[in-house]
Structure 1
Amino acid sequence: MTASKLTGTAALLKLNLRHDRFKILYWCIGLAGLMTAAAAKFDSLYGSTKAMNAIIATLKTPAMVSLLGPFNGTKPYTVAMVYASEMMVFMGLFAAMMNLYFAVHATRSQEDDGTTELLLAHAVGRQSPLVAAVWELLLINLGVGVLEVLGLQFSGMTGAVAAGNWLFGLGLAAFGFMFGMFALGFSQIVNNARSATILSYVFLAIVFIARMGTDVQNTKYTWWTIFGWIEKMKLYTKNDWTPVLLMVVLSVVIGLITLLVATRRDIGAGLVAPRNGRRQASIWLRGPLTLLMRLDRVSTAIWIIGLALLGASYGSIFGTVGDIVKTNPMMGKVLGTTAVNTANKAIILGLSNKLSIIFVVVASIPPLITLLKLNTDDRKGYLEALHAKPVSRLRLFLTYTGQALVVCTLSFALAVYSMAATGNSSMAHMPVSIGQLMRGFIGFWPSLLVVCGIAALLVGALPKFQSVVWIIPVYGVLSLYLGALINLPKWAQHISPYGWVNLVPTHAVNWTTFTWMTILGIALFIIGYVCYRRRDLTMN
């Protein structure tokens, strides 16, 4: 690559960092703050021998292995080993998500907005925007990684030695950077930011599900999942840097391939050319709703099918997770068949509750994307053709909200149903009724409605701050997914709408809660529409 193709890279890097400074700050505070706060609390949670033995026994169960990965600690156990087992996979997932966002935002999103074309009209090299994005990802990950290391160092957590802390922080940095490079590669293949984001998250979901399956069945195969590399560092025991080296090598390889692909495509285009459209519109393309459905048909199918596969993947391990006799044969002799089956059922229902939380949070993503698009499409001028037609504000608002609610409801329902169906097929001798497992869908559905209602309210009333709504699913998964493990207060777990739901499917659906949450969600949509109807379309 000639030097002329990299002209202006440093200037673009400074521009990117300045433009993204607040977003970078939020991610740094969020990730490093979470790790530091959790580390500072773990000694009080698991400082005693009794508490330590109890949590280690829990972490070794198939259910927890599927969620958090295997426990790699060795005797004598320390609090830091427990911390690494609980936090590594979870923090790796968030590091990957951060990098997917910044990678697509710094490349394909800028091409969609026309920013890249304007930059290249000046004394800027052809590959400078891409190389500047790589450097930005590298600096962001190093910054977050070092902050995480410092947080662990000053937390005073028992067993958190410097060697393990540095491996933890830099390992997460390398892991996130690796997924950022994959996202940069996907951004070269397709011709718009939405498709690049979808491809990136589909890839992340595939490797995460593969990790889950190999961790439960045979951990030797986890090496082939890429995501599983983060578990192989054996933090605070052997402190193995080999996985970090693999991440760096793979990142370099993917980066070189990405640069090669970038030289073979035009600005604004992808390596894969889009299919030519029809000469005349389909008879089904009759209004805003069918237009939106057609534009989002691929992403909608991916979300629905993806969540169904995610549910089926988790359900397939129910037979292993719910067999306590397999993990503890003595328990079967002591309790007897009836008691063992009851205990197995309780384990499955408890795991189903955690999985329902994951499903409802993930199912919140596509409707939020759709709802926020109402203002984004308007700002970019995509809706001008519709505004020029006799299309009312109400019809346009209902188009986006209706599409959002249908997609999230179908996605969530299929995720829970596929989990229940495959789970029952894997538990031939002790099935749990599908109806009982579907309580998870019924119970959590109003929380989905409320979250979407909050998004609709922000879209109508505060369009400049509509992105704030993403705090809700992020906090929801943090507080409910890890809340019990880090002993988060109940009031803190109940801040998000997901925390207002009772313990379904273990318990029956609380219809009083279901009713008032549904009414609240509908009211939020109505208020959001009123605000949207009264404001100027150009205000945002």
Structure 2
Amino acid sequence: MIGTGVLVRLALRRDRLLLPIWILVIVAIPVSTASAIAELYPDVGQRLALGATIMANPALQALTGPVFDPASVGGLTAWRATTIATVLAGLMSIMLVTRHTRAEEEGGRAELIGAAPIGRYAIPAAAVIVTGLANLLAALLLVAGLAGQGLPLAGSVAFAGIVAGVGLVFTGIAVVTAQLTANARTANALALAVLGLFFLLRSAGDAAGAEAVSWLSPLGWAQRMRAFAGERWWLLAVCAAVAVLLVAAADLLARRRDIGAGLLPSRRGPAAAPASLRSPLALAWRLQRGLLFGWAAAFAVVGGVFGSLAASVGDIVADNPQIAEMLARLGGSGVLVDTFFATQLGVFALVASGYAVQAALRPRAEETIGRAEPVLAASVPRWRWLAGHVAFALAGSALILLIAGLAAGLAHGLRIGEPATQATRIAGAALAQVPAVWVVAGITVLLFGLLPRMTAVAWALLVAFVLLGQLGELLQIDETIRGFSPFAHVPALPGGTAAAMPFVWLCLATAVLIAAGVAGFGRRDLQAG
């Protein structure tokens, strides 16, 4: 463990930009949710009516889980914010651990550090400590924010504690996946796949009322912490114990591999490249295909799940004649279903932007690892090499949104007897979100070409777009500021109206950003800042 403190300080310095943003988002969403619920539902009767609606609707429970105390603002806050806060804590933990463990080995920096008087476990220990400190700080700020809203201190501590506890569980999962593969992207993908599986288990269990299924997921444990509704404090000990066991398992796995290697053997390639790999685009396909297949599969599954739940959204108005009459004047319960799809497709677009950033940053990974230089030393123009990866950032993001739309529309259409019509309609609505995603990809390419050491800003901007889109109206942010997000300029489809000019301007902005990034890359040195 010698040198752990030095590596902790180094990691904190490297993450001085990203870490505060992660923590701010994790804290801001529950606190703003509590404020909004207190404002929108000031009367106990209103909160009880909302709680009855939630418990009668499987679609709502699949999205956010059950509500245990609908009479209190805290109970509704826990219902609305627990899933998203714990998912964000899990994402932060996975990204931090992989960045400071497997990515360091893949880049050769771990071996260089290991040549100094640094202990065998200093690097993973520093990653776990930094991630634990980030979760702890988020928990402390959550307690202060929720208690500052007038919510009970015990419930605030329970909510914050379980968010941090789930973050620690995923810290352990990420440490384990970092031992399995020699590639940081694959380690991230494995951990994210586990997170997605846990979300589906929690979602399916809550929608079907199958408690045993929900208990299989740490996200289900977070819901059943029952913050503000008779807290189960022992679940904090469960999270801590699972995290410790996972870290111990990672230690045992680390003893059985060499530095830079993974326990899962890397497949050897042929001695000579086939004709299908003798172009920059073909090379980009070989490097990007695993990421694309993983995202496409995840979007197909999640799209199908939400599509199958869309028809039940109309049940919200079953016991409310006033809302039913209002919807009848607007066009019937189909309006509610369209609103549900429009909301979910907006979220899908934000998530798909994560794929676009990852794909657009693959050239930076190739550059820092040292694989770009031998390729560019041959007769390969820089712009062609970069264009191959940009093509996958653009086409891949459009493809996964199309797949999500088709899966959601097909699942919904099978329930109402119109599979072809609904699949086409929802897929078209999903594609309407693509230009906004492309702008995010364009920003990433621009940063890679001009400011390669600041490519993390692309993730920061994506988080800012998420905040503006999901919380901008709730936090009463000025519409002009919200307009800085490209997602504010795409229509809410299905159900809304679409004009051509926003799509044209977003595509033009993407073209300008990419052209500037490609030009900047052509003029700078490799490995330059």
TM-score, scaled to structure 1: 0.89
Q: 1:512 aligns with which of 492, 501, 516?
A: 501
Query: Any gaps of 5 or more consecutive residues in structure 2?
Result: none
Q: CA deviation at 1:249?
A: 1.9
For the 8 Å contact 1:127–1:262, the answer to whether it is kept is no
Q: Could you say which residue in structure 2 is the equivalent of 1:241?
A: 233
Q: 2:487 aligns with which of 473, 498, 510?
A: 498
Secondary structure of 1:364's partner? helix
For the 8 Å contact 1:345–1:432, the answer to whether it is kept is no
Q: Could you say which residue in structure 1 is the equivalent of 2:135?
A: 141
Secondary structure of 2:215's partner? helix
For the 8 Å contact 1:45–1:487, the answer to whether it is kept is no
For the 8 Å contact 1:100–1:200, the answer to whether it is kept is yes
Q: CA deviation at 1:51?
A: 5.7
Post-superposition Cα deviations, 1:92-118, rounded to whole Å, max 9, x if no partner, equal 111111101111112101111222212
Amino acid at match of 1:239: E
Q: 1:156 aligns with which of 149, 160, 167?
A: 149
Post-superposition Cα deviations, 1:207-238, rounded to whole Å, max 9, x if no partner, equal 11222222111141211223211111111111
Q: 2:189 aligns with which of 178, 198, 202?
A: 198
Is 1:271 the counterpart of 2:263 in the alignment? yes
Is 1:303 the counterpart of 2:298 in the alignment? no
Q: Could you say which residue in structure 2 is the equivalent of 1:421?
A: 410
Q: 2:115 aligns with which of 105, 121, 134?
A: 121
* CA distance in structure 2 between the partners assigned to 1:339 and 1:369 by the alignment: 44
Secondary structure of 1:389's partner? coil
Is 1:45 the counterpart of 2:45 in the alignment? no
Secondary structure of 2:277's partner? coil
For the 8 Å contact 1:443–1:510, the answer to whether it is kept is no
- The structure-2 alpha-carbon separation of the partners of 1:483 and 1:67, relative to structure 1 and needing over 3 Å to count, comes to farther
- The structure-2 alpha-carbon separation of the partners of 1:393 and 1:163, relative to structure 1 and needing over 3 Å to count, comes to same
* CA distance in structure 2 between the partners assigned to 1:430 and 1:309 by the alignment: 17
- How many equivalent residue pairs? 527
* CA distance in structure 1 between the partners assigned to 2:332 and 2:221 by the alignment: 34
Q: Could you say which residue in structure 2 is the equivalent of 1:525?
A: 514
- The structure-2 alpha-carbon separation of the partners of 1:195 and 1:211, relative to structure 1 and needing over 3 Å to count, comes to same
* CA distance in structure 1 between the partners assigned to 2:424 and 2:471 by the alignment: 27
* CA distance in structure 1 between the partners assigned to 2:316 and 2:41 by the alignment: 24
For the 8 Å contact 2:356–2:438, the answer to whether it is kept is no
The residue correspondences of 1:5-404 to structure 2 (distance < 5 A) are: 6-40=1-35, 42-48=37-43, 52=47, 55-56=50-51, 59-60=54-55, 61-74=57-70, 77-153=71-147, 155-157=148-150, 160-220=151-211, 221-323=213-315, 328=319, 343-404=332-393
* CA distance in structure 2 between the partners assigned to 1:435 and 1:53 by the alignment: 39
Q: CA deviation at 1:123?
A: 3.2
Say what the alpha-carbon RMSD is for the aligned residues: 2.9
* CA distance in structure 1 between the partners assigned to 2:418 and 2:363 by the alignment: 50
- The structure-2 alpha-carbon separation of the partners of 1:35 and 1:243, relative to structure 1 and needing over 3 Å to count, comes to same
Q: CA deviation at 1:43?
A: 3.1
For the 8 Å contact 1:63–1:351, the answer to whether it is kept is no
- The structure-2 alpha-carbon separation of the partners of 1:105 and 1:132, relative to structure 1 and needing over 3 Å to count, comes to same
Q: CA deviation at 1:73?
A: 1.3
- Report the identity percentage: 27
Secondary structure of 1:272's partner? coil
* CA distance in structure 2 between the partners assigned to 1:34 and 1:318 by the alignment: 25
- The structure-2 alpha-carbon separation of the partners of 1:78 and 1:430, relative to structure 1 and needing over 3 Å to count, comes to farther
TM-score, scaled to structure 2: 0.91
Amino acid at match of 1:124: I
Q: CA deviation at 1:514?
A: 2.0
Amino acid at match of 1:363: A
* CA distance in structure 1 between the partners assigned to 2:475 and 2:74 by the alignment: 13
* CA distance in structure 1 between the partners assigned to 2:399 and 2:300 by the alignment: 9
Q: Decide which moves more: 113-122 or 234-243.
A: 113-122
For the 8 Å contact 2:166–2:218, the answer to whether it is kept is no
Q: Decide which moves more: 292-301 or 262-271.
A: 292-301
Amino acid at match of 1:196: A
Q: Decide which moves more: 459-468 or 163-172.
A: 459-468
Query: Any gaps of 5 or more consecutive residues in structure 1?
Result: 1-5
Amino acid at match of 2:126: A
